[in-house]
Amino acid sequence: NAGVTQTPKFQVLKTGQSMTLQCAQDMNHNSMYWYRQDPGMGLRLIYYSASEGTTDKGEVPNGYNVSRLNKREFSLRLESAAPSQTSVYFCASSEAPNARQKAYEQYFGPGTRLTVT
């Protein structure tokens, strides 16, 4: 049981290049999320997918697109990278809601450190 996995771990892009960050979870969770983490800014939600087949914008969606490929996988795409997108990106997942408190817990992957020059 690997939990949430992300690839790649590190990436350097030139301005204007595109790339896709991959995320997969093996916990059979319904919901998945993409965050970015910047110094002094905490974690900010980029996009999320409440369930397979649905995606929604979070707090900072501009410059990004997402695809919920199936229940396990949720990818984040940068179409034309900008230096402002230099950040650490985290994917997370959570169970479907029920009466248990665990339904609120989000499980995070190890992150992708992206540098755009």
71 near other proteins (CB under 8 A): no
Token representation of residue 86: 């230099």
Helices vs strands, H then E, count in the chain = 0, 11
# residues near other proteins by CB under 8 A: 30
Binding segment for other proteins (CB under 8 A), chosen from 16-24, 30-38, 65-73, 77-85, is 30-38
87 near other proteins (CB under 8 A): no
Shortest CB 110 distance to other proteins, Å: 5
| Separation of CA 69 from chain center | 13
5 near other proteins (CB under 8 A): no
Binding segment for other proteins (CB under 8 A), chosen from 19-27, 64-72, 76-84, 102-110, is 102-110
As a whole number of angstroms, the distance between CA 80 and CA 8 comes to 18
| Near other proteins by CB under 8 A: residue from 45, 61, 65, 86 | 45
Shortest CB 10 distance to other proteins, Å: 11
As a whole number of angstroms, the distance between CA 61 and CA 34 comes to 10
As a whole number of angstroms, the distance between CA 111 and CA 35 comes to 9
